[in-house]
C-alpha cells in the first residue's frame, strides 16, 4: 500500500515541474529509498506466519524415540527427528545445526562450517534408523561403516541451517548383516551433500 502511494505521489510531483533534470538528485534518491523501504515492509510476515510454513510436517520419530533405536549419544547423535519413514525402505530426517556444537570451536573459529564427514555421518545415522528396525537387526545394535562412494558436497552447511536429509536402503542382507544405502541432504531447498553409496556392517 505504501509503495502504491509513494509511486502515485512521485508521478504527480513530476507532472507539475519542468523536465526531470530539474528535480534534485536528493529528492529523487529519497523517493526511491522510501519506495524500497515500503516494499521491504510489505514482505514482512512475522513469526506466526513463518512458523506455520512447517505446520504440515509431522514428526514420525522424536529425539527420544531415536535414542531408543540408535546407540549414539551427544555430541555424536546427529539426527534430531524423523519426519517421513517407510519401513525397510527410506526416511527423511532433520538435523538442526547450532553454533554450540563442539566441532565449531575448531572448524573453523572464524568461519564455522559443519565438517563434511559429519554430514555423511548424519546420513548414515538416518540410514541406521531404518536398518535397525528391519528383520535380522535390533534397535540399539551397532552398525559400522564399511564403505562410502560418490560423495559430493555442493554448499557449506553452517550454524543456523536446517539439514533436511533423505536416505534410501537399496540392499539389505539380513544373514550377513550388510546394508547399502544412498543419501542426500538439502538446506533451504538446495542440495548440500550427496552420497551415491554407503555400506554398513552390523556388528556381531
Which residues are part of the catalytic machinery?
A: 107
List phi, psi (to 5°) of 28: -65, -45
How many CA atoms lie less than 13 Å away from 116 in the CB half-sphere?
11
Complete DSSP assignment for 149-196: EEEEE-S---TT-EEEEEEEEEEEETTTTEEEEEEEEEETTEEEEEEE
- Cα–Cα distances (Å) from 7 to 15, 34, 39, 166, in that order, read 13, 10, 11, 47
CA dist 69 and 132 (Å) reads: 7
Q: Is 74 exposed, middle or buried (0-12, 13-18, 19+ CB in 10 A)?
A: exposed
CA dist 120 and 157 (Å) reads: 12
List residues bridging with 81 in a β-sheet.
94
CA dist 154 and 185 (Å) reads: 10
Amino acid at each position: 500500500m505504501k509503495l502504491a502511494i509513494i509511486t502515485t505521489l512521485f508521478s504527480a510531483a513530476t507532472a507539475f515541474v519542468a523536465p526531470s533534470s530539474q528535480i534534485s538528485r536528493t529528492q529523487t534518491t529519497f523517493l526511491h529509498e522510501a519506495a524500497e523501504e515500503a516494499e521491504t515492509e510489505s514482505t514482512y510476515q512475522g513469526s506466526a506466519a513463518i512458523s506455520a510454513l512447517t505446520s504440515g510436517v509431522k514428526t514420525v520419530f522424536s529425539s527420544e524415540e531415536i535414542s531408543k533405536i540408535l546407540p549414539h549419544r551427544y555430541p555424536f547423535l546427529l539426527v534430531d527427528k524423523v519426519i517421513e519413514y517407510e519401513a525397510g525402505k527410506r526416511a527423511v530426517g532433520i538435523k538442526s545445526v547450532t553454533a554450540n556444537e563442539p566441532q565449531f570451536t575448531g572448524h573453523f573459529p572464524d568461519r564455522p562450517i559443519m565438517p563434511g564427514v559429519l554430514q555423511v555421518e548424519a546420513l548414515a545415522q538416518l540410514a541406521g534408523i531404518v536398518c535397525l528396525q528391519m528383520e535380522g537387526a535390533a534397535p540399539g545394535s551397532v552398525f559400522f561403516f564399511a564403505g562410502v562412494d560418490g560423495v559430493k558436497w555442493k554448499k557449506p552447511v553452517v550454524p543456523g541451517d536446517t539439514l533436511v536429509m533423505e536416505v534410501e536402503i537399496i540392499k539389505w542382507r539380513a544373514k550377513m548383516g550388510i546394508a547399502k544405502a544412498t543419501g542426500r541432504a538439502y538446506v533451504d531447498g538446495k542440495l548440500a551433500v550427496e552420497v551415491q553409496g554407503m555400506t554398513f556392517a552390523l556388528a556381531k
